[in-house]
Amino acid sequence: MRFRYLFFSLLFLLAAADLSGQSKKRQELEAQKVRLMDEIELANRILSETQRDRKNSLASIATVEQKIKLRERLIRTMRREIKLIEEDEDDIQENIDTLQARVARQKEAYAYMIQQAYKSRKNSSRLMFILSSKDFNQALRRIEYLKQYSAYRKQKVKEIEAEEKKLEAEIEKLRLQKVRKAAVLSQLSEENLRLNQERQNQTEAIKTLQAMESDLEKDLKSKVAEAQKVEKQIQKIIAEEIARAKALAARKQLEDRAIKLGLTRGKDFTSNTSNNRLESLISSKEAELAAANKPVAKPAKVYALTPEARTLAANFEANQKRLPWPVARGLVTGNFGPQRHPVVKSVIIDNKGVDIATQSKSEIRAVFDGEVGRIFRMPDGQLAVIINHGSYFSVYQGITDVRISQGDKITKMQVIGSAYTNPISGETKLHFEIWKDKKAVNPLLWLSSS
């Protein structure tokens, strides 16, 4: 008996866990649908800004390509949702079948009970049943039995009614699931139509641009050459920042060494004392201590960064996949790494970061605490900002209305400027990069996915 109780308890818990899991999956799919639809709406807004003057532009091609990918993901999400609904329908139908069988059995048992009671009533009345008792105690027991029998019949009626209510509730649940499934199927059909139309429009737009391929190729190669110049400038600045960080760390270690040996800041040396002079003072002090047979502390381990910079770099690294996006809302229209241009196939773009299309006047935000290393103007007149995060660097290209200065201490999510909008194409785009020392890394591996 105890084993049977444990078995059914375990079965109930497993069923409850399964239902809980289904509910969680459903909520996740709903949330994903909302996010994807929101991003598609953002793509439509960006396109409306980009296409004011020119319908088939390279910027539009990239944004529509991203919108198509979002639509495909939305359709896949809907298909998963339909599958989940169908699984729920099967479970509910199984419950309905079980409840229907249980109610039928209970009604059958109750009908048999009524039938037997009727037969018993024909043979002898309740009163005769009581009066035919051998003694008073037996009469009392028979009265109690009749009471219990009556109560039992009433209880059975209540049980049947309760089971029928459960059955009605399950049937209603199944009806609602079918309505929901029909709604998702209808939405899926609409999304498929939109996707096919977008693909067709994209193919036509690409064909239109390919008719001007020679002019586009010349323009693109010029832009690629400009981008390479900017990348070389970024690499040069980052190399200078790394060298500056090493010099600061070396100086800090020299000064700490001098203080440990007994030299006094402000008296024996100052911040203006050259490294050579400070090294000479350290050597003299060491010789003096050695002559006096006093212990000389061993030099500390040499680091490329100051302790503060090392902590900052470690914190940055610990936040991989959790960094906030540099814009509140945006679409990645250019991925990291070398890739062939979607229209002019002869042009290979080696992207050191990601291109994020956004709406005009969008604010640009720092992705982490740090220090503004450099602000410089690019060949097309846009501004770029490099923020130092210890041994990591974040780069923001395509900024206007800059609200920071070189050397400023920056906090995560601090607004550093606004996204630049091209006055001719209407395109608003931020080019964003992350560097680890002298190597560019894929920003999408660092930014939050939610």
Average pLDDT value for residue range 39-49:
72
What pLDDT sits at residue 367? 96
- 192: closest CA among 84, 86, 87, 82? 82
pLDDT band at residue 35 under the 50/70/90 scheme: confident
For 302, other C-beta atoms within 10 Å of its C-beta total 9
Q: Which one of 56-65, 154-163, 248-257 scores highest in mean pLDDT?
A: 248-257
**In the structure encoding, which two tokens stand for residue 196, read together?**
């096919």
| 104-108, 154-158, 217-221, 243-247: the lowest-pLDDT one | 154-158
pLDDT band at residue 403 under the 50/70/90 scheme: very high
Q: How far is residue 13 from each of residues 7, 18, 166, 379, measured CA to CA in Å?
A: 10, 8, 19, 66
| Whole-angstrom distance, CA of residue 343 vs CA of residue 208 | 10
Under 8 Å between Cβ of 385 and 367: no
Question: Which residue has better confidence, 392 or 64?
Answer: 392
The full set of domains in the chain, from first to last, is 12-210 (no CATH), 245-306 (no CATH), 311-445 (2.70.70.10)
227-261 confidence digits (pLDDT tens): 888 889 899 999 999 888 888 888 888 888 888 88
**In the structure encoding, which two tokens stand for residue 311, read together?**
């902590």
Average pLDDT value for residue range 55-72:
79
What pLDDT sits at residue 3? 43
pTM over 0.75: no
| Whole-angstrom distance, CA of residue 321 vs CA of residue 261 | 44
Under 8 Å between Cβ of 376 and 390: no
| Whole-angstrom distance, CA of residue 327 vs CA of residue 39 | 13
Average pLDDT value for residue range 15-37:
68
pLDDT band at residue 137 under the 50/70/90 scheme: confident
What pLDDT sits at residue 444? 94
**In the structure encoding, which two tokens stand for residue 328, read together?**
């509140």
- Give Cα 298 distance to the centre of its chain: 49
Q: Which one of 44-48, 154-158, 380-384, 390-394 scores highest in mean pLDDT?
A: 390-394
What pLDDT sits at residue 222? 78
**DSSP 3-state assignment of 334?**
strand
What pLDDT sits at residue 260? 85
**The tokens 């059975």 sit on which residue?**
156
Residue 14 reports pLDDT greater than 50: no
What pLDDT sits at residue 430? 94
Main-chain dihedrals φ then ψ at residue 12, nearest 5 degrees: -65, -45
The amino acid at residue 132 is S
pLDDT band at residue 12 under the 50/70/90 scheme: very low
- Give Cα 270 distance to the centre of its chain: 50
Q: How far is residue 119 from each of residues 139, 195, 237, measured CA to CA in Å?
A: 21, 72, 103
pLDDT band at residue 5 under the 50/70/90 scheme: very low
Average pLDDT value for residue range 370-381:
88
